[in-house]
Amino acid sequence: MFLHRLHLRNYRNFAEQVLEFPPQGAAIVGDNGQGKTNLLEAVYYLEIFRSFRGAPDEQLVRFGEDVFRAEARLADASGADRSVSAAFDRRARKKKVTVNGAEPERLGAALGQVGAVIFSPSDVEIVADGPGGRRRFLDIVLSLAEPGYLGALQRYRQTLFQRNTLLRKGSPRALVEAWDEGLITAGSRVVAARDRWVAERSNSFGTHYERVAGGQPGRMSYTPSAPEMGDAKGEAEIAAAFREALGRAADREQRRGMTLVGPHRDDLRFTTEGEGGTLELRTYGSGGQQRTGAIALRMVEAETIHQARGREPIILLDDVFAELDPGRSQRIVDWIEAEEGGQVILTSPKPTDFQLRGETLPRWSIRAGVVVPD
Ligand SMILES: Nc1ncnc2c1ncn2[C@@H]1O[C@H](COP(=O)(O)OP(=O)(O)O)[C@@H](O)[C@H]1O
Ligand SMILES: [Mg+2]
């Protein structure tokens, strides 16, 4: 599958834009502030129906307008066609999504139609900042790749909200505990899926890290909120461990007025080996090591999407080569060539001669929200 037509109306600084992409993709070149990230954000919006930058939908509507609309047409080699659209009305605060012209019953059912992965300089925050971004990463990948994950996550969040409300008000323990089984059932499903994903993908993360870094090893591991949940295997054992951890935390929870164990407090850990032994990338990694960790993570995501969808993902590269040395940049290109040789849409402030399967990507320019194909 590749994106062959994108139609934007009043999305960020795009007024009206129709673009026809060739199967290999395109390189979009333009100065800062012209709309390069906005364009890739719009494509990825049609994958997850929200901004990958975390911007609320209101901010995506062009200044002075009320409604944005984005539509993608995807095609495969056999000519089979699919369309995905999203529109948001700022006044009515209403989002409308369609797949092949029909509205899905739930938004969750429409996720992942584009089959894309986005690489962005801000990915470094996943590695370098607090655990919230790492949980968000896991939640997006698993919602896209694992049936049932999003539903379990939503049930978990609702239950957590109820339980926290009671704890905050200092309600009697029995009232709080009434929510425990619901919390444990949904939460164990979330933890089990995260645990399995990290276990299945940690070798691959290591391979990508080492390759991009040019030899240094890298590791990814999962750290659930309570140690016994890390040792548990499978949903039933995790549920038992969760129950035990909640029991132990009950007094503290009442004092603090919030739920202290569960997947809302999980983390992912990225490490490399340095002179003095194992080095946590978050706290001790150099900027380059942190960026490498983020790239390896996106590569693992691409593999996950590839396997889940049964086809190569569309690779969106937002200005990623600017901050990388030529060696690392070349190794990303090699990876796309060798393993994920699908469509590539990349942006750059400078003209790049990005070669894919021997062909140079067509170079388009962008200025003030207008893309001019060559
Ligand atoms: N809702 C919006 N309406 C109109 N313009 C917007 C909106 N949101 C952001 N912009 C504009 O988009 C530009 C930034 O676009 P961006 O894609 O981040 O640039 P870059 O090419 O550097 O990646 C800024 O000039 C900003 O004012
Ligand atoms: Mg940008």
pLDDT digits (tens, 9 = 90+) for 256-265: 999 999 999 9
39 CA: nearest ligand 1 atom: 17
Q: Would you state the pLDDT for residue 329?
A: 86
Q: Which residues of 83-93 are buried (b: 16+ CB within 10 A; e: fewer)?
A: bbbbbbebeee
> Which amino acid residue places its CA nearest to atom 8 of ligand 1?
12
> Which amino acid residue places its CA nearest to atom 26 of ligand 1?
33
DSSP annotation of 361: P
Closest ligand to Cα 40:
1
Residue range 208-228: mean pLDDT, rounded:
94
Q: Rounded to an integer, what distance in angstroms lies between the CA atom of residue 302 and that of residue 315?
A: 8
DSSP annotation of 58: G
Q: Would you state the pLDDT for residue 219?
A: 96
> Which amino acid residue places its CA nearest to atom 5 of ligand 1?
13
Which residue from 152, 153, 291 is spatially nearest to 213, judged by alpha carbons?
291
Give residue 352's pLDDT band: very low, low, confident or very high (50, 70, 90).
Answer: confident
Q: List every span in the chain annotated with CATH 1.20.1050.90.
A: 128-306
Q: Would you state the pLDDT for residue 12?
A: 98
Q: Would you state the pLDDT for residue 56?
A: 98
Ligand 2 midpoint to CA 88 (Å): 22
Closest ligand to Cα 365:
1
Q: Rounded to an integer, what distance in angstroms lies between the CA atom of residue 269 and that of residue 271?
A: 7
Closest ligand to Cα 371:
1
> Which amino acid residue places its CA nearest to atom 25 of ligand 1?
33
Q: Rounded to an integer, what distance in angstroms lies between the CA atom of residue 344 and that of residue 58?
A: 28
Give residue 128's pLDDT band: very low, low, confident or very high (50, 70, 90).
Answer: very high
pLDDT tens digits, residue range 200-215? Answer: 999 999 999 999 998 8
Ligand 1 midpoint to CA 60 (Å): 9
pLDDT tens digits, residue range 165-211? Answer: 999 999 999 999 999 999 999 999 999 999 999 999 999 999 999 99
38 CA: nearest ligand 1 atom: 17
Ligand 2 midpoint to CA 319 (Å): 7
Is the confidence at residue 278, as pLDDT, over 80?
yes
Q: Would you state the pLDDT for residue 200?
A: 97
Residue range 84-105: mean pLDDT, rounded:
97
Q: List every span in the chain annotated with CATH 3.40.50.300.
A: 1-115+311-374
Is the confidence at residue 356, as pLDDT, over 80?
no
> Which amino acid residue places its CA nearest to atom 11 of ligand 1?
13
Q: Would you state the pLDDT for residue 70?
A: 98
Is the confidence at residue 234, as pLDDT, over 80?
yes
60 CA: nearest ligand 1 atom: 1
Q: Rounded to an integer, what distance in angstroms lies between the CA atom of residue 209 and that of residue 199?
A: 16
Is the confidence at residue 340, as pLDDT, over 80?
no
Report the relative pairing of strands 277-280 and 267-274 from DSSP bridges: antiparallel
Q: Would you state the pLDDT for residue 359?
A: 76
Q: Rounded to an integer, what distance in angstroms lies between the CA atom of residue 13 and that of residue 33?
A: 10
Ligand 2 midpoint to CA 187 (Å): 36
Average confidence score pLDDT of the chain? 94
Is the confidence at residue 341, as pLDDT, over 80?
no
366 CA: nearest ligand 1 atom: 21
> Which amino acid residue places its CA nearest to atom 4 of ligand 1?
13
Comparing 359 with 149, the larger pLDDT belongs to 149
Report the relative pairing of strands 94-99 and 2-11 from DSSP bridges: unpaired
Ligand 2 midpoint to CA 28 (Å): 11
Half-sphere exposure of 214 (CA within 13 A, CB side): 10
Ligand 1 midpoint to CA 37 (Å): 8
Give residue 76's pLDDT band: very low, low, confident or very high (50, 70, 90).
Answer: confident
Is the confidence at residue 358, as pLDDT, over 80?
no
Q: Would you state the pLDDT for residue 295?
A: 95
DSSP annotation of 129: S
CA angle 315, 318, 319 (to 5 degrees): 130
318 CA: nearest ligand 1 atom: 23
* 128-306, CATH topology level: Glutathione S-transferase Yfyf (Class Pi); Chain A, domain 2 (1.20.1050)
Q: Would you state the pLDDT for residue 260?
A: 97
Is the confidence at residue 336, as pLDDT, over 90?
no
Give residue 5's pLDDT band: very low, low, confident or very high (50, 70, 90).
Answer: very high
Q: What single letter denotes the amino acid at residue 150?
A: L
Domain 1-115+311-374 maps to which CATH number in 3.40.1190.20, 3.40.50.300, 3.40.50.1000, 3.30.70.20? 3.40.50.300
Q: Would you state the pLDDT for residue 325?
A: 83
Q: Would you state the pLDDT for residue 7?
A: 98
Which residue from 246, 250, 286, 251 is spatially nearest to 270, judged by alpha carbons?
286
Give residue 77's pLDDT band: very low, low, confident or very high (50, 70, 90).
Answer: confident
Ligand 1 midpoint to CA 95 (Å): 21
Q: Are 59 and 361 in contact (CB under 8 A)?
A: no
pLDDT tens digits, residue range 30-69? Answer: 999 999 999 999 999 999 999 999 999 999 999 999 999 9
64 CA: nearest ligand 1 atom: 3
> Residues lining ligand 1, judged by CB closer than 6 Å?
12-13, 30, 32-38, 59, 61-63
Among 11, 31, 38, name the best residue to mutate to test ligand 1's pocket (greatest count of ligand atoms within 8 A of Cβ). Answer: 38
Closest ligand to Cα 323:
2
> Which amino acid residue places its CA nearest to atom 13 of ligand 1?
33
Residue range 243-255: mean pLDDT, rounded:
96
Q: Rounded to an integer, what distance in angstroms lies between the CA atom of residue 66 and that of residue 138?
A: 33
The residue behind tokens 């890739």 is 40
pLDDT tens digits, residue range 279-333? Answer: 999 999 999 999 999 999 999 999 999 999 888 999 999 998 887 888 888 888 8
Residue range 96-112: mean pLDDT, rounded:
95
